Structure 1
Amino acid sequence: MIEKKDIALEKVALVGIITQDQDQEKSKEYLDELEFLTFTAGGEVVRRYTQKMNVPNPKTFIGSGKMEDVMHFVKENEVGTVIFDDELSPAQERNISKILNCKILDRTNLILDIFAQRAQTSYARTQVELAQCEYLLPRLKGMWTHLERQKGGIGMRGPGETEIETDRRIVRDKIALLKAKIKTIDKQMAVQRGNRGKMVRVALVGYTNVGKSTLMNVISKSEVFAENKLFATLDTTVRKVVIGNLPFLVSDTVGFIRKLPTQLVESFKSTLDEVREADLLLHVVDISHSNFEEHIESVNQILDEIQSKDKPTIMVFNKIDAYKPEPLDEDEGELEGTKANYTIEDWKNTWMAKLGDNVLFISALNKENLEEFRKRVYKEIREIHITRFPYNHFLYPDVEDIT
C-alpha cells in the first residue's frame, strides 16, 4: 500500500493496454509498478485506464473512444499529467498532447525523471542527462509549444525544462560532450578499481526495491541510503567487508526494472562495470513480491546484456518476513497458506531452494538467517581467494570454523 504524504501531489492518470503478449493480469502488474513509479516521482494516481487491443494505435496508442473518455476525465478533474505504460513514438506523443491538452509522459520518460531526481553525484547526473538527451532528440519537432505551458513537475526535470530553445544540432553537440565527459570519468574510475588491488569483489544485483541497500548496511555495518521507493540507489557504493578475517569488497548497484529504457541501459553500462568486474554476484530477490519470478528473469536478461550472466552467483531470497503465500497444491512443495510463520527448513523445502546450489533465504531488515548468509558468502569468497592466492590458504579458516 502506497502511503500518501501531506504535500500536494501532482494528479496523474495512467493508461495501459491488454494485448496477446500482455494479458490482463500482466497489464495490471505493469500498471501497479507504474503507479509506484509515479508515487516515487511525486505524483498521485487518480485514475487508471486499460484497453484490449491487438496492437497499439499508431496515432494515439489507444482507440478514439477510450481517448475521449480520458480527455473528459482529465478536463473535469483537472488532471495535469497522463502517463502511458509503454514508450510512445514522437508522433503519438504529439497527437495525444493535442487531444488531452496536458502533460504526456510514457514509462521511459517517467523513469528518466526519477533518475534525474535521484542522481546525487556529478557522474550519475551526467549519465542521466545523456539518457534524457538521447530520448529527447527524436522528439524535438513540434515539442516546444507543447512544453511552454508546462512549468515544472514530473517529467520536466533536467534538459526537458532547461533546453526549451534548443534544436537537434545543439542536442547532438551536447550528447557528444556528455559522452566525452563520461569517458573521462570512466578512465578515472577504472584507475580507482585498479588501485583496489586483487581483493575479491562482490556485487549486489537485483530488481529495484528488493532490499539491496538494506542488506549492504547489514553486512558492511555502514549507512547506505535505503528507502521504500524505486531507484533509491543510483550511484554505486563500495564498502570493505571482513568475514572470518578475510577482507573483500561489496558494491551496491542501481536496481533493474522491466521495460528499462534502452537509453538508461546504455548510459549506465559504465556504472555497471562494478557488476562486470565482480568475482561473485549476490542476486537479491524480494520473495514477498507476487511476481518475483519475472523480476528474476528481467535481472538475468540485463545481466546477459552486460556479459555477466555466467558469473558465480548466490540467489538471495530476501524479505521472508513479509511473504504472504496463497494456499497451493501440497504436491508442488509450496509453503502452506494457512501457516503464520515459516522456518528456514520450510523455505528449504520449496521449489525456490532447488533453483541451484547457492540459494539462501533471509530477512535483511529483521536480520534473520544472516549467519548462514555470512558463512555461504565466506565459503564462496574463500574459494575464489585461494584460487587467486594458493599460498595463502592456511591464513583463512574453513567455513565451519568462522564465528
Structure 2
Amino acid sequence: MKDLILTDIKSEKAVLVGLITPEQNEEKVKEYLDELAFLAETAGFTPQARFVQRLEMPNSVTFVGTGKLQEIKEYVADEENETGVVIFDDELSAKQIRNIEKELGLRILDRTSLILDIFAMRAQTAHAKVQVELAQYQYLLPRLTRMWTHLERQRGGGGVVMRGPGETQLETDRRIILDKISRLKEQLKQIDKQKAVQRKNRGKLVRVALVGYTNVGKSTLMTLLSKSEVFAENKLFATLDTTVRKVTIENLPFLLTDTVGFIRKLPTNLIESFKSTLDEVREADILVHVVDISHPAFEEQIEVVEKTLYEIDKTEKPTILAFNKIDAFTHVAKDEDDLTPKKRENVSLEELQQSWMSRVKENCIFISAKEKTNIEELKQLLYEKVKEIHITRFPYNDFLYQTYEE
C-alpha cells in the first residue's frame, strides 16, 4: 500500500496552502492551517511556509489563482527552502492535482490524503489495516491517471495482467482497484461479523464510550478510569483501534470504550471504512464527550463531533460533557474597565464553567486527566448514569445499591 499513498518519506519540509472564502474567514483559515500543520507534523513533515488566498470559490483547474500558484512556484523553486511537498487544506480533484504537480514539479497532498497517510502509519491490527487500505483505494479511484502503471503488480497470477483489445492502462488500473475494493469490503464484512459476535458475548453490561475530537485526552482518561495502560501521545489519531476495558466503580461494573478521534473534514471514506469500529459508539448506552477546553476552537470541535455522531447514529444517548485540560487553560479574563466586546480569548475559565453548566446542567464536568483534577467527581457522575441504566436491566438487584452507597 505504500506505493499508493507514500508513508515512508519523512522529515521533508512542507508548504501549506489554504483559501479564504465566504464560507471560511481569515480567522478560520488560520485555525485550519494550524491544524493542518499539526497533521503534517504527525505525518513526519516539517511545515515551513503558508500561502493563503482570498477567492469566492476554489479554482477548478489549480485550486488557487494563477498569480498565487506562481508565488508558490517561486518559493519552492528556491533551493534554500528545500521544499519536498505542498499540502492543500481541502480535497483536490484529479485535474487539480495533475495541473498543480505539473506546474510546481513537486509531490502534492491534500488534507484527505494526509489524513489517510497518518491512518496508514497508525494502523496496528489487521482490522485497522484493512479499513485504511479500503479508504485509500476509494480515495485513489476517481484520481487515477496514467502514472499509476505500477498497480499491475498488485494483481495476482504472477504479476501478469491480461488486457482485452483496446483496453488502456488506465482502464486496467481502474479494474484492478475495483477488484481490490471488492475484496477488501468482503474482508471487512467477515471482520464485522466477528466483532458483532464479540460485542454480543459481552452480555448486558452497560457500555460507556469515550468520544471526542482527536488529541483531546481520551486515551489518558481511559487509562485513569480503567487503571490499565492505554497508548497515548501528543499527536493526532494516536488511537485507531477500539480499546474496551471492564471498569468497576463502587462495585458497579460497566464496559468502557476508547474510540478513534474525529476531525474537521474527516474523509467520508474513512467514516464508512471504520463502520465496525464506530459500531462501538452506536451500541454504547452512555457517551462521555471529551473536550479540550484549552483549545481556542473547542466550541467548533464540539460541533464537529456532534455532527459526526449524528451521521453515525441518530439515536439520542445520555451524554456527559467532560471538559479536559483545565490545567492548560490560558485565557485571561477581561478587565472590568475594558469596554471592548467580550471574545473567547478574554473569557475566564470560571465564566466558561458557569455558561456550560447552565446549558447542560449536571451532565457537565471540568477535569484535568493529566493532573487528575476532578477525576473522582467524574467517576461519581459516571456511577450515577450507569446505575440508572443498570437498574432497568437488573431490577432484582436493586437492594444491592443500598450496600454500594453505604
Distance in 1, matches of 2:250 and 2:73, equals 63
Distance 2:335 2:193 in 1: 54
Partner amino acid for 1:393?
D
Kept in 2: contact 1:334–1:351 (CA 8 A): no
Per mean C-alpha deviation after superposition, the further-off stretch among 250-259 and 386-395 is 386-395
TM-score, with length taken from structure 2: 0.87
Distance 1:347 1:217, change over 3 A: farther
In 1, Cα distance between equivalents of 2:402 and 2:193: 37
What is the alpha-carbon root mean square deviation over aligned residues?
A: 2.5
Closer, same or farther: CA 54–309 of 1 in aligned 2, 3 Å:
farther
**Who is 1:38 aligned against?**
40
Q: Deviations for 1:101-152, whole angstroms, at most 9, x for unmatched residues?
A: 110010000000000000000000000000000000011123438x99xxxx
- 2: distance between equivalents of 1:325 and 1:398? 44
Say which of 356, 371, 375 aligns to 2:376. 371
- Residue 112 of structure 1 aligns to a residue whose secondary structure is helix
The unaligned stretches of length 5 or more in structure 1 are 1-6, 149-163
Does residue 353 of the first structure (1) align with residue 357 of the second (2)?
yes
**1:144, 1:165 within 8 Å by CA — same for their partners in 2?**
no
Task: Please list the CA deviations of residues 290-336 of structure 1 after superposition, one character each: whole Å capped at 9, or x if unmatched.
Answer: 00000000000000001156111001000011001133487999999
Q: Does structure 1 retain, via aligned residues, the 8 Å contact 2:353–2:366?
A: no
Among all aligned residue pairs of Structure 1 and Structure 2, give the percentage whose two residues are the same amino acid. Answer: 61
Distance 1:336 1:135, change over 3 A: closer
- Contact 2:195 2:276 (8 Å CA) reproduced: no
Partner amino acid, structure 2, of 1:261: P
SS of the equivalent of 1:12 reads strand
Choose which of 290, 309, 313 in structure 2 pairs with 1:307. 313
Match of 1:228?
A: 234
The one-letter amino acid paired with 1:80 is G
1:396 to 388, 401, 405: 401
Q: Kindly tell me: are residues 121 and 397 of structure 1, through their superposed partners in 2, closer, same or farther at Cα, counting changes over 3 Å?
A: farther
TM-score by length of 1: 0.88
Deviation at 1:165, TM superposition (A): 11
Query: Hey, what's the Cα distance between the residues in 1 that align with 2:303 and 2:335?
Result: 24
Aligned to 1:294: 300
1:333 to 1:105, Cα distance in 2 relative to 1, 3 A: closer
CA–CA distance in structure 1, aligned partners of residues 387 and 352 of structure 2: 24
Give the alignment of 1:68-87 within 5 angstroms.
68-76=70-78, 77-87=81-91
**Counterparts in 2 of 1:17-166, with a 5 A limit?**
17-76=19-78, 77-144=81-148
Do the aligned residues in 2 keep the contact of 1:244 with 1:396 (CA within 8 Å)?
Answer: no
How far apart, in 2, do the equivalents of 1:89 and 1:104 lie? Answer: 12
1:225-279 deviations in whole A, cap 9, x for unaligned?
Answer: 0000000000000000000101100000000000001110111122100000000
Q: Aligned letter for 1:48?
A: R
Per the alignment, in what secondary structure is the counterpart of residue 46 of structure 2? strand
Question: What displacement does 1:350 show?
Answer: 2.2
Show the 5 A alignment for 1:206-245.
Answer: 206-245=212-251
Does structure 2 retain, via aligned residues, the 8 Å contact 1:347–1:361? no
Which stretches in structure 2 are left out of the alignment for 5+ residues? Answer: 1-8, 152-169
Deviation string for 1:183-212 (max 9, x for gaps)? 000000100001000000000000000000
- Alpha-carbon separation, structure 2, partners of 1:165 and 1:203: 44
How many angstroms apart in 1 are the aligned matches of 2:135 and 2:188?
Answer: 12
Q: Which runs of 4+ in 1 moved over 2 A?
A: 142-145, 326-339, 346-350, 396-399
SS in 1 for 2:146: coil
1:35 counterpart letter in structure 2: A
Distance 1:387 1:178 in 2: 40
| CA gap 1:347/1:244 in 2 versus in 1, 3 angstroms | farther
* Distance of 1:168 and 1:257 partners within structure 2: 30
Structure 2: distance between partners of 1:33 and 1:65: 26
**Which residue of 1 is the match for residue 158 of structure 2?**
none
C-alpha distance in 1, partners of 2:344/2:95? 49
Secondary structure at the aligned position of 2:271 is classed as helix
Alignment equivalent of 1:167, drawn from 160, 170, 173: 173
Structure 1 distance, partners of 2:172, 2:220, is 42
Change (3 A) 1:254 1:335: closer
1:17 and 1:80 map into 2 onto residues whose CA distance is 21
Residues 1:121 and 1:328: Cα distance change in structure 2 (over 3 Å): same
**Change over 3 Å in CA distance of 1:85–1:212 after alignment to 2:** same
Q: Name the CA distance, whole Å, in 2 between partners of 1:8 and 1:376.
A: 44
- TM-superposed CA distance for 1:348, in Å, is 7.8
Q: What SS does the aligned partner of 2:371 have?
A: coil
**324-333 or 53-62, larger mean C-alpha shift:** 324-333
Paired with 1:349 and 1:199, the residues of 2 have a C-alpha distance of 32
